[in-house]
Each structure stands twice: as structure tokens, then as C-alpha cells.
Structure 1
Amino acid sequence: MNKFKGIFPPVPTIVTKKGELDKKGMATLLEHLISNEADGLLILGSGGEFCHMTPKLRLEVAEFAVKYVNKRVPVMIGISSPSTKETIQFGQHAAEIGADAVLVVNPYYALLNSEAIYNHYQTVAENITIPVLLYNFPALTGQDIGIDVITRLAKDVPNIVGLKDTIDNISHTREVINRVHAFRPDFIIFSGFDEYMLDTLILGGQGGIPATFNFAPKLTKGIYKAFIKKDYETAFKLQRQLAKLMPVYAIESPFFGVIKQAIKLVGVDISTEVLPPVMPLANEKKKILKKLLTDSKII
């Protein structure tokens, strides 16, 4: 699974005012990310607005991205749904179109017991032919997958190859790594929170899935490259710069429009439209964002 390491940015989905896929804008963004040395791409993650899409649009976005990237870097597709059956359908589609892996957040809205969560992931993975990564994001799903469940799945289901841990608690990621790597050292651990990526690497993880790469690629990729080269002074310097950028996620909720506006501010010509019910970013918020990017030396 060596291809699943490094920086896999969660790619925003570029849409028109009518809420349709903007293929020209999407191609522009994908080219920007690949040319800036993304090690892989996550399509239809949280920042890709999958939660506000029709199934038809999700399939279209996945197909376009995989075809456009054309194996230049690995493509991971988010296939999350509260329904086990629909998750499998999205996963089988991802395999059919040539995706390299899928990412699956635990079912949301109805809180499940640990056995139900385990069964969901086991059933999904056993019905999909490409690698499956777990996606733990309790702040949005309302429920932590649980370290015990993650450990069981890593032991029992070979096709579950890794985890994106988006949790504001590095000790959680540390405990997962310590437990799972004891018997499965190749199990992939990606940091979901940008500022914890360096910590995750130090603990034995493989990389991160930072949205900041979309508009500050030299910063987040720079941290990874410096760490791999054991240039820790540079890694720490860039980490301090990244830490000052983290208020970007608090400018608006959800942050979808903020990331798109940031991409535009660094010179990538894309639409900043978002899917309803999210509202366009207000001018006042755009000014706050521009100041943050300026103060953080991104623009």
C-alpha cells in the first residue's frame, strides 16, 4: 500500500450557479493540485460537499475526476452514506470506474452501537474490490468509530487498509497507531486535521488529508517533504506557519466556500459557488480570509 502515503488533499467540487459540475473549473483545480505535487487526491470527502449532492451528481463527479486524473496520482473516492446498501453501491461504482481506494465515514444521524458500526464496515469492505479506508470524524457524524472497533476491523478485514482520523485529540490517533501497528504495521494512518499531520508522522502515520493544500501546497507538502528528509528544523518552521493558518476553518461554517475562495485568491481560476443549503461567502468574510492569508504569508 505504498502509494497511500504523503499528502492527499480533499478536493473541493467546483460547481456552477445551477449546482451542476463545472468540468472546466474542476479540471483546472485538479491540474493545480497535481502540478503542485499532491501524492494523491480525495474526491467527495467532507470538503467535496458530498453531503449536499444527489446520488447522480456524486457519480458524475467521481467519474470525471478519475478519468481526468488518468492514473497520474492515486484517487480515493468518498462513498459515505447512512445506508450500508448505498455505501456499497457507491463503492462498487468507484471500483468500476478505476478509483484506487474508497473512504467511508461511519453512518450518521442515527447513533449506532459499536457492533452495528463494525458490521457496517465489514459488510461494505467485503462487497468492494478496492481498498477501503475508515473515516473517523465524530464532530460531524456525532459518533466516534471507537478505537476498539478500529482495531477489530484492522485485524479481521484485510480489505480495510487504513484510517483518516479527523479528531481534535492527537492522543486518539496515537493510541490507534500503537494498537494497530503492533500487529499490522502497514495499516495506513492519515491525519484529518492539518495541524496534527506532523504529529501523526512522528507517531508513525503515513501523511495527511489537509484542505489547506488546495491553496497553500508548498506549506503542507513542505512539512511532509522536510519530515521525510529528516530536515526537522524546516518541518517545525513550516508547522508554526501552518498553525497560524488554522483559523481559516472558523471563518464560516461549513468551510466549503472559504476553501474555494482561498484557492481563487492564490490565483487559480475557479468558481466559488457552493451547493445549497450552504450560502455564498459574504464579502465581510472574504475580507477576513484575505487578511488571514496575507498575515500567514500565503498571498
Structure 2
Amino acid sequence: MKKAKFLTPVITAFDAEGNLDVQANKNVYDYLIDSGIDGLVVMGSTGEFYAMSIEQRKELIDLVVPYVNKRTKTIIGTGCMTIEDTIELSNYAIGVGADAVIVVSPYYFGLTDANLDFYYGEIAKAVKGNIYLYNFPDRTGYDLSPEFTLNLLRKHGNIVGYKDTVSEMGHTRKLIKTVQNEFPGFEVFSGFDENFVHNILVGGSGCISALSNLYPEIFVNWVKSVNNKNIAKIAEIQNCVDKMSELYEISQCFIPILKKAMMFKGLDIKDYCKTPFLQADEKQTNAIKELMEEVDHIIS
């Protein structure tokens, strides 16, 4: 069994005008690093990369990489709609000192394996660092299949990992079983918090999921419990995370909900998001408070 890891796809803190809130972002990074989380994934879906210009994404790279300063692993989301932009942003991140980049494939049109092989192949050949694939079929409209992934790994040694944001663990299990004999060091992470333990049990590396922004200490403890094979503690935390996952159900646009919850947790940030996301309304705010009270009761 691989050593378990939990990485946080970090929220991006903005001001009311949609500019980066530099100090608030630093507050979040310190909070996560001090809690002992295994790494930060910056400008993933939770980080609202899709609503940021290339220039603002570079601005955030220039903020996070030197500030984190290798205190934990830093992976930068660099997927764009074109190969050229993805390569430019990826090499910018690697050049500043990021540990790796994670690339979601283009969305809107469905793409064939031939399209995807060309897209990722050109990127892998041009990017001067390690790359993680980001599979999110609900958003891209298609799947990076286990067979496609294996073929890609055989051709490009700098593709080192994969985030599988699917609720069906059967897909992740098949991916792991398909690639692990030839590429035992290839990291496969689940994209849903509650699938963390199942991922490890089938040979994966852990999870990259958003609730660790809010309660990183719980997820750090979960990792320790898995690595120490403490079954009772694993089950206890699973119960807590299952309840915590109800946060996603408060709104289809969960990022403003998560930011509001982080404010209630005591972080010095605001809950501004890129438009068209709206801040949590009164009903949603009350639901957040009630859920956090229930979670805190379970923890205590």
C-alpha cells in the first residue's frame, strides 16, 4: 500500500473588484501549511482558474511559489483552451519554481483520443517539468480513459500523476490497475473527499479535494490514521467527512459557500469570487453555520 497523501486544491482569495487579495491568499497558504497538509494545488477548479486571465494567473504564480518556498509541494493548474497557452503558462510556473503543473484538457467540444493524444503530447514535449493529468468528465464532456492514459505514459516520462474527479471509484480502480505494473510510481488521486480511503485501498496515492481548505487538520489526521493502519480512527474520520460533504449540497456553486465557511472558521479572508458567482445568501449562510456546528460536535 502506498503512503497516503492529501493535497488541497486551494481557494483563491479576491477583493470586491476581482483582484487578488495578496494578504488573504498568504493567510490561506500559511493555514494549510501549518496544519501539515501534503501539498497545495493552486488554480484548480476550486481556485477559479477558468475566470482568470493569463496575466492574473501569472500574478498568482508569482505570489504563491516564492511565498510557499518549498514548505510543502506546490502544483499549479495551467490547463488552457489552447496548447500554446498551456505550454506558456506551464513553463512560466516551472520557471518560477513550482514542483509540477496539473493540466485539465480543453472543454466545450468533445475530443477524441487522437485529439487528446496530440494535445497532451505537444504539451509534454514542450513543458520543462512534471505534469499531472486532470480528468473531470462532468466539466470537459469526455473521459481520459485508463487505456489512453497508459499509452500516453509510455511516450512521455514527465507525466507523473493523475487527478480523477469522478464519483465512481470503479473508474479510478481500473486506472490504477491498468498503469501500476508498468508505472508503479505513477500517482493517482481521487477528486472527491469521501473516496480518499477507498483510493488508497486499491493502490492509489490519496486525494485532492476541496474540504481540506476548511478543516485541514482533520484530513492530516486522516492521512496519519491511514498510514498507521488505525482502522477505528479511519472510520471515525470517514463519518465526519461524510457529514462535512453536505457542504457541497448547499449550492451548486460551492466555492462561495466554502469561502464563507472558511471565514466562520476564523480565516482572515473575504468570500468574494469571480463573477458570475454570488456570495452566500442568508439561507445558505444559516445552512453553513448549522452544518459546521454538526461537524464540530462530531469532532468534539
Normalised by the length of structure 2, the TM-score is 0.96
Matched ranges for 1:53-132 at <5 A: 53-132=52-131
What letter is aligned with 1:32?
Answer: Y
Cα distance in 2, alignment partners of residues 195 and 226 from structure 1: 15
Q: How much has 1:155 moved relative to structure 2? A: 2.0
Task: Note the residue ranges of structure 1 that are not aligned, 5 or more in a row.
Answer: none
Match of 2:270 in 1: 271
**Does structure 1 conserve the Cα–Cα contact (< 8 Å) formed by 2:134 and 2:162?**
yes
Gaps of 5+ in 2: none
Describe how 1:24-35 pairs up with structure 2 within 5 A: 24-35=23-34
Mapped partners of 1:24, 1:249: distance in 2: 26
Question: Shift of the alpha carbon at 1:133?
Answer: 0.4
AA aligned to 1:71 is K
> 1:90 offset after TM fit, Å?
0.8
Question: For each residue in 1:133-154, what CA deviation from the matched residue of structure 2 results, as whole angstroms up to 9, or x when unmatched?
Answer: 0000111111111222111112
Q: CA–CA distance in 2 between the matches of 1:45 and 1:265?
A: 23
Equivalence for 1:210: 209
Alpha-carbon offset, residue 122 of structure 1: 1.4
CA deviation after TM superposition for structure 1 residue 35, in Å: 0.4
1:226-241 equivalence runs, <5 A? 226-241=225-240
Question: Counterpart in 2 of 1:134?
Answer: 133
Question: Contact between 2:4 and 2:226, CA under 8 Å: does it hold in 1?
Answer: no
**RMSD, aligned α-carbons:** 1.5
Shift of 1:218: 2.1
Q: How big is the shift at 1:254? A: 2.0
C-alpha distance in 1, partners of 2:81/2:146? Answer: 20
Aligned to 1:196: 195
Percentage of identical aligned residues: 32
**Alignment correspondent of 2:5:** 6
Q: CA offsets per residue over residues 55-103 of structure 1, 9 Å max, x none?
A: 1111111110101101111100000112111111110111111000000
Letter in 1 for 2:45: S
Cα displacement (A) at 1:253 = 2.3
Q: Is the 8 A contact 1:189 1:206 kept in 2?
A: yes
1:280-295 equivalence runs, <5 A: 280-295=279-294
| Paired residue total | 297
Q: For residue 5 of structure 1, report the CA deviation from its aligned partner.
A: 6.1
Partner of 1:221: 220
Single out whichever of 253-262 and 48-57 deviates more from structure 2.
253-262
Give the Cα separation in 2 of the matches to 1:178 and 1:144.
17
